[in-house]
Amino acid sequence: MSMTASATTAMSFERLVATIEQAHARLAAQASRAVNTHLTLRNWLIGLYIAEYEQDGADRARYGDTLLERLSERLAAAGVSRAEARELRRYRQFYLIYPQIRETLTPEFGITLLPQTNVTNNRESPTPEFGVAAGDLLNRLSFSHIAELLQCDDAPKRAFYELECIRGNWSVRELKRQIASLYYERSGLSKDKAKLAALAQEGAERAGPTLAIRDPYVFEFLGLKPQEVMSESHLEDQLLDKLHDFLLELGHGFCFEARQKRILIGDSHNFVDLVFYHRILKCHVLLELKVAAFSHENIGQLNTYVSWYRKNMMTTGDNPPVGILLCTQKDHALVEYALAGIDNGLFVSKYLLELPKKEEMQRFIEEQLAAGVLGETTVGEPAVGESGFAEGDR
């Protein structure tokens, strides 16, 4: 080979970088799709097994209406994730609405199905002219997408959102937004459906491999802990680490309970940054950190968490929970306390006495920022290996 030919075919450094980037992006996307496909298939199979057991189980009469609760307890003890009774109902509904996924079960999955029973004939699934192919449904949509679609009780409406979601590669958050905006109903009334569709797709949030892995179903399926995938940014992750130590060192009675505590409100999974129990105030203290300026949406979110804790986590002798909201920018820090539902004047006075003062918290934030807690990382840039927070849950 001549030197000229060798020079023209040799890989340059820039080409090396570009080639590695392309390989990484392609294989990361394939890995993401594989995880989502197997999770979705797992949930469908759980639904199938439950439906067929209810139809022909040898001892089904013994359990009756308590089947899913009893099953949930046994599966939880066995370490099966996302096996609460409400989720088991969702998986059964998934199977009944989408029995055509059976067509995708090729031998490579290594799955043996139970003998087909009459339950499939009673399916609620759309007729063949509706919806997307079973393979596209399994490979192009995450189970969180499907969970949203299951709430559409009308087959044509569900099929409409399936097609639009796949066509636009929507994130789960975008699918929720489009359903809430009555896109299907507006499309039915529109005289120019193509123009409306173009407007709906314009600026829509797209799903990507990282968003898919952030899905709360996925990280529990993979056995990850919430704190491994839920932080919003490197800045937040660093500050939460230091805030945890800061509050414990204050000596005001804080007992650490959880980080990125998952709570289920309706059908939405939410995550509280830090949860403490205050042994003097005898109440939960919830702390939320937002790497942004204060907004009413932030206080509304924290107030929702505090209200949920008051209803679901208070026990005899507890005082109502309180929330601390920290909003920060590089040159500014603002602390707001959420006194949701606290109407006991004596308790409020003690609360103000025992919790860190606003100025104390603000000074701590500003000192951490001034000390370069970020290093060379800019606000919003993910830390190395960070997966980010669950889509649509914060």
Q: What integer pLDDT is reported at residue 123 of this predicted model?
A: 42
Q: Give kind and range of the element (H or E) at residue 294.
A: none
User: What's the farthest any 2 CA atoms get from each other in the chain?
Assistant: 90
d(CA 99, CA 162): 16
Task: Give per-residue pLDDT as tens, 133-172.
Answer: 888 888 888 898 999 999 998 899 999 999 989 988 888 8
Residue 144 has which token pair?
């969180």
Q: What angle do CA 189, 191, 192 make, to 5 degrees?
A: 120
Looking at the DSSP assignment, which residues form a beta bridge with residue 264? 269
Residue 182 φ/ψ region, left for φ over 0, alpha for ψ in the -120 to 50 degree band, beta for the rest: left
pLDDT band at 128 (very low <50, low <70, confident <90, very high): very low
Sketch the domain layout of the chain as residue ranges: 12-214, 226-370
Share of the chain above pLDDT 70, in %: 72
Looking at the DSSP assignment, which residues form a beta bridge with residue 258? 275
Q: Scanning the structure block, which residue is given the tokens 């799709």?
A: 33
CB 187 within 8 A of CB 159: no
Task: Give per-residue pLDDT as tens, 246-283.
Answer: 777 666 788 888 888 888 887 777 888 888 898 888 88
Task: Please tell me the least confidently modeled range out of 103-107, 110-114, 185-189, 299-303.
Answer: 110-114
CB 288 within 8 A of CB 304: no
Helices (H), the chain: 3-9, 13-56, 67-77, 85-97, 134-140, 143-149, 155-168, 172-180, 183-189, 193-201, 209-214, 216-221, 226-229, 234-249, 296-312, 345-354, 358-370
> What values do phi and psi take at 260, rounded to 5?
50, 55
CB 391 within 8 A of CB 213: no
- Give Cα 157 distance to the centre of its chain: 24
d(CA 303, CA 309): 10
Residue 219 has which token pair?
């990280």
Q: What SS3 class is residue 254?
A: strand
Segment 357-365 mean pLDDT: 80
pLDDT band at 226 (very low <50, low <70, confident <90, very high): low
When the pLDDT of each residue in the chain is averaged and rounded to a whole number, the result is 77
Higher local confidence (pLDDT), 34 or 238:
34
Task: Give per-residue pLDDT as tens, 66-86.
Answer: 999 999 999 989 988 888 899
Q: What angle do CA 112, 113, 114 make, to 5 degrees?
A: 125
Segment 2-13 mean pLDDT: 63
First to last CA, the chain: 59
Q: Scanning the structure block, which residue is given the tokens 């603000």?
A: 362
Q: What integer pLDDT is reported at residue 222 of this predicted model?
A: 66
Q: What integer pLDDT is reported at residue 74 of this predicted model?
A: 93
Higher local confidence (pLDDT), 393 or 179:
179
CATH 2.40.50 fits 226-370, yes or no: no
Segment 89-118 mean pLDDT: 76
